[in-house]
Amino acid sequence: MLVNIARRLAAMLAVMFIVATMVFFLTRLAPGDPASLMLGDQATAADVAQLRKTFGLDQPLIVQYVLWLKEVASGNLGQSIFLQRPVLQAIGERAEPTFFLALFSILIAAVIGIPAGIASAVWRGRHADQVASGLAMLAASIPSFWLGLLFMQFFAVRLGWFPVAGYGDPGAGLVQRLYHLVLPATVLGIVNSALITRFTRASMLDVLSEDYVRTARAKGLPEHRIILRHALGNTLVPIITVVGLTAALLIGGAIITETVFGLPGIGNLVVSAVLRRDYPVIQGALIVIAGIYVIINFAIDVIYTLVDPRVKT
Amino acid sequence: MSDLDRELSRQGWSRRDLAKFIAGAGMLVTLPAGNRVFAQGAKSANLAMIGEPQSLDPMASTADLVSTIMMHVYESLYTFDKDLNAQPMLAVAMPKVSADGKLYEIEIRKGVKLHNGRELDVEDVIASLKRWIEMTPRGKSVGASVDKMEAKGTHGLIIALKNPVPALLTHMALPSGYAAIMAKESIANPLVSFIGTGPYKFVERKPDQYVILTKFDDYAARSEPANGYAGKREAKIAELRFIPVPNANTRVEGIVAGQYQFADQLPVESYKRIAATSSVKPVLVMPYGFPYFVLNTKQGPFADKKIRQAYQLALNDTEMMMAAFGDDKFFKATAAHFPKGSPFHSEAGGAVYNKGDAAAAKKLLAEAKYDGSPIRILNSKQYEFHNRMALVMAENLKEAGFKVQLDVVDWATLVQRRADPAVYDVYVTHSTFLPEPMLSPPQLGDGAPGWWDTPTKKAALAAFNAESDPVKRGALWGKVQEIIYDEVPYIRVGDFAALCATSAKMTGFVPMPSPAFWNVDLA
């Protein structure tokens, strides 16, 4: 098992190297120049050239790549061009809202999606299934920005229950900051619950047709006990996969939701960095996001072995 | 023991804990919004801005957002009144200028405290102006004409120029990439402490969350009545919080809900909603800016003046402005590059503006033997109004017989591509309105994209820039404007307004291109 884990860790490093290389070159393939953007209309070509030199952008691309890779290998993701601070610091400052937003969204999605999926499978073809499946389809189809604006209109503007946007007043405590996440987390939770509902339903339907479930029924066990004790446990593997991957995506930055709700998260950071061509931030943030994604994938594989002894690492 | 008690005990809770939790949750739902969600001190204002400032160093960036925030911290020697005339701020009065326009003598106000408690003197001013000349595009253009700057006593400044620079005070007054006066000991690259003389001092920046400024108690105000950015400044609100809210709809919802007391640059579509909300006041700043199209005079079809003239005749500027801004209260289609009241107001050359005359354009194209090369319109959807104007422009051009190719890219790409004459024929951009012709657009200078460089331009601008007398300069600008309409290096489409909104409780707010919050109070 340890050998397998070591092998997987080596594969993770290889994946990260490929990601870093692709991120670097894809970022530079896009046209645009941070120096021109920073200096504005009035700058002369000489001013722009001087600033490019300051940022090392005048060097051949391959030289920039090697220098950057060396820094990354030593744990330094570089210095933001526009934010005038290290990339790691910029990411760290924005990690909290993104982390909590992802956590709450996933919790809400799971709380909605798993029971809805179970109900849909148990009462297959009946009203409960039609309602749950219909709502899941609707949730999957609704753009998160539209649902966000709708929630904002109703719960924040009309009812005044929640703040419209932001992450708390200056000096706000954790509770107030988290309070600002209620609306965006609910929106993301609803949107992401659709996939969990569908996976849970499909998985539960598979399990409910197994022999051991038929046997349990033949033995006269109550239906709720069959569902919750015998069937649910065996549906967990695909549900864990979809929950884990959704969490990884959300930690990578729920870009649109963060923008609509003005949350100072990683998604917002990446968007503004792309628009400004702040290369070190784009590269650094994408590497961190890819790293989280790879680690969560690894964790999912490990969890499989815990919930299902048939799966070997 | 009941089932409930047993369950609570298993969770480590008592009935009292449960009651407290339920009461707390109930309070959360039933408390009015003003008490709960938007709790803030009576004298603090949440100001929703269009994004995160690139920097807080007003010389490191020409972005308007940077200056909008930092002009509360840093002041300049001169500033603008409501009619955008330069007026003294840290200077005692307007400068004494020699007859040849080459020597400026400026007296600096005494008793002005910096935010570190020290009194401002001429050494701070010289150090700041030198940094401005070294770092900013505008400063560099002025610096090329500066022979020397020297102190005269502790509060006197002499600026000797190699040649007259009639727009010197305007350059120094502009709040974009501006000549901010800072404590000489704070000057560094990058700037890490922000010590100025303004009515507010810097407290904290949390990226993507806020920039906080607080009232500077030792602020030395001028005695003249407030007028635009000029005159008496008083910090009536104790704390200003500039909050980046990049999504325009969120800014609208936030001010309607009462979370913000000011929201900057709102979509014109939101005007009706804001006007119908009693707790909010819409504010229009007119003119705020002007869209303009820069033609590539270096190569391609527009290297031919006749084809550029045909292009100009084909355009219906009113239609383009209507497409861009939706309602004529938000724009003005006008041939004059400067509004009435400005010394530069002139209708010269404007007979060819806003014609939308496809037949006349076709005739000119035939005379020019236009070969049907597509006109590549470079524009960006990042500014939605640019794209809407480009779509109308394309239709106008097709009607006149042009072939058209729309190249829609993001703004960063456009900024890079406009420097390459091989890849476009015209690009769409805009500028904020500035009171002095030489400040914008950059095509009036040398080497800017479009590469307009003709003997007539040079002669007209040389005469204009050599003249110091404001009245004579006005007449000379008329000549320049006439040449612009004849040679068509760019099309100035019209003026547009900016829509922002304040809380109905906010008093004393004066609509200006960069919103200022001194002399502003919250009832």
In a domain, A80, yes or no: no
Confidence of residue A40 (pLDDT cuts 50, 70, 90): confident
Calculated CA dihedral for residues A34, A38, A41, A46, nearest 10 degrees: -70
In a domain, A259, yes or no: yes
A213 and A291: one domain? yes
Indicate whether A312 pLDDT > 70.
Answer: no
B355 and B261: one domain? no
In a domain, A12, yes or no: yes
**Is B54 in the A-facing interface, judged by CB distances under 8 Å?**
yes
Total tally of structural domains belonging to chain A: 2
Q: What is the mean pLDDT of residues B486-510?
A: 96
pLDDT score, position A311: 65
Confidence of residue B351 (pLDDT cuts 50, 70, 90): very high
A28 and A96: one domain? no
Q: Which chain A residue shows the shortest CA-CA distance from B243?
A: A166
A247 and A136: one domain? yes
In a domain, A159, yes or no: yes
CATH number of residue B130's parent domain: 3.90.76.10
Long-range contacts of B452-457 (CB under 8 A, 24+ apart): B452/B297, B452/B487, B452/B489, B452/B490, B453/B297, B454/B487, B456/B483, B456/B486, B456/B487, B457/B483, B457/B487, B457/B489
Please state, for a pLDDT cut of 70, what percent of chain B lies above it. 92
Q: Which residue of B36, B37, B381 is the best one to mutate when testing the A interface, meaning the one whose CB has the most A CBs within 10 A?
A: B37
A133 and A23: one domain? no
Confidence of residue B12 (pLDDT cuts 50, 70, 90): very low
Summarize pLDDT for B421-470 with one digit per residue, the tens.
Answer: 999 999 999 998 988 898 889 899 888 899 999 999 999 999 998 888 87
Confidence of residue A252 (pLDDT cuts 50, 70, 90): low
A244 and A102: one domain? yes
A122 and A17: one domain? no
Q: What is the mean pLDDT of residues B352-356?
A: 97
Task: Test A90 with B409 for CB contact under 8 angstroms.
Answer: no
Pairing of strands B495-503, B280-295: antiparallel
pLDDT averaged over every residue in chain A: 87
Residue bearing tokens 């502003």: B520
A23 and A137: one domain? no
Lowest mean pLDDT among A201-205, B14-18, B105-109: B14-18
C-alpha dist (Å) from residue B176 to A39, A43, B67, B189, B431: 11, 13, 6, 18, 12
Which ipTM was obtained for this model? 0.80
Burial class (CB in 10 A: 0-12, 13-18, 19+), A140: middle
- Scan residues 252-281 of A and list those with Cβ closer than 8 Å to B: 259-262, 264-265, 268-269, 272, 275-277
Bridge partners of B244, per DSSP, are B49
B262 and B292: one domain? no
Q: What is the mean pLDDT of residues B239-253?
A: 93
**Is B58 in the A-facing interface, judged by CB distances under 8 Å?**
no
Domain boundary residue among B153, B186, B219? B186
Domain boundary residue among B161, B186, B211? B186
Lowest mean pLDDT among A14-23, A240-249, B210-219: A240-249
Please, are residues B337 and B295 in contact by the beta-carbon 8 Å criterion?
Answer: no
Confidence of residue B2 (pLDDT cuts 50, 70, 90): very low
B163 and B204: one domain? no
B262 and B310: one domain? no
Q: Show the CA angle centred on residue B71, arms to residues B69 and B72, nearest 5°.
A: 75
**Is B39 in the A-facing interface, judged by CB distances under 8 Å?**
yes
B146 and B102: one domain? yes
CATH number of residue B439's parent domain: 3.10.105.10
Token digits for B286? 């007119």
Task: Test A42 with B447 for CB contact under 8 angstroms.
Answer: no
> pTM for the full model?
0.84
Short-list B182, B80, B92, CA closest to B130? B182
- Scan residues 442-461 of B and list those with Cβ closer than 8 Å to A: 442, 447-448
CATH number of residue B212's parent domain: 3.40.190.10
A303 and A171: one domain? yes
**Is B257 in the A-facing interface, judged by CB distances under 8 Å?**
yes
B182 and B193: one domain? no
A279 and A130: one domain? yes
Provide the residue range defining the domain that includes A125: 89-307
Cα gap B82→B222, rounded to integer Å: 16
Q: Which chain B residue shows the shortest CA-CA distance from A34?
A: B412
Q: Helices A2-29 and A279-307: crossing angle, nearest 10°?
A: 150
Confidence of residue B33 (pLDDT cuts 50, 70, 90): very low
Instruction: Name every chain B residue with its beta carbon within 8 A of the beta carbon of A33.
Output: 412, 415-416
C-alpha dist (Å) from residue B510 to B67, B197, B347, B516: 17, 21, 29, 8
- Scan residues 163-202 of A and list those with Cβ closer than 8 Å to B: 163-167, 169-170, 179
Confidence of residue A46 (pLDDT cuts 50, 70, 90): confident
* Nearest chain A Cα distance for residue B257, angstroms: 5
Lowest mean pLDDT among A143-152, B54-63, B444-453: B54-63
Task: Test B62 with A39 for CB contact under 8 angstroms.
Answer: yes
In a domain, A7, yes or no: yes
Cα gap B456→B452, rounded to integer Å: 11
Domain boundary residue among B159, B186, B213? B186
Question: Where would I find the H helices in B97-247?
Answer: 122-135, 137-143, 168-173
Task: Test A165 with B245 for CB contact under 8 angstroms.
Answer: yes
Lowest mean pLDDT among A223-227, A295-299, B37-41, B148-152: B37-41
Instruction: Name every chain A residue with its beta carbon within 8 A of the beta carbon of B51.
Output: 272
Instruction: Name every chain A residue with its beta carbon within 8 A of the beta carbon of B413.
Output: 30-32
Burial class (CB in 10 A: 0-12, 13-18, 19+), B368: middle
Q: Which residue of A41, A44, A149 is the best one to mutate when testing the B interface, meaning the one whose CB has the most B CBs within 10 A?
A: A41
Question: Does B371 or A245 have the greater pLDDT score?
Answer: B371
A110 and A236: one domain? yes
pLDDT averaged over every residue in chain B: 90
Task: Test B33 with A83 for CB contact under 8 angstroms.
Answer: no
B182 and B316: one domain? no
pLDDT score, position B246: 87
In a domain, A78, yes or no: no
A114 and A190: one domain? yes
Short-list B506, B492, B518, CA closest to B79? B518
Cα gap B380→B272, rounded to integer Å: 27
Cα gap B457→B71, rounded to integer Å: 35
In a domain, A149, yes or no: yes
A169 and A51: one domain? no
Total tally of structural domains belonging to chain B: 3
Amino acid (one-letter) located at A189: G
Q: What is the mean pLDDT of residues B70-92?
A: 94
Confidence of residue A217 (pLDDT cuts 50, 70, 90): confident
Provide the residue range defining the domain that includes B383: 288-496
B332 and B388: one domain? yes
**Is A103 in the B-facing interface, judged by CB distances under 8 Å?**
no
Cα gap B360→A45, rounded to integer Å: 38
Domain boundary residue among A20, A38, A73? A73
Domain boundary residue among A73, A99, A118? A73
In a domain, A79, yes or no: no
* Nearest chain A Cα distance for residue B363, angstroms: 35
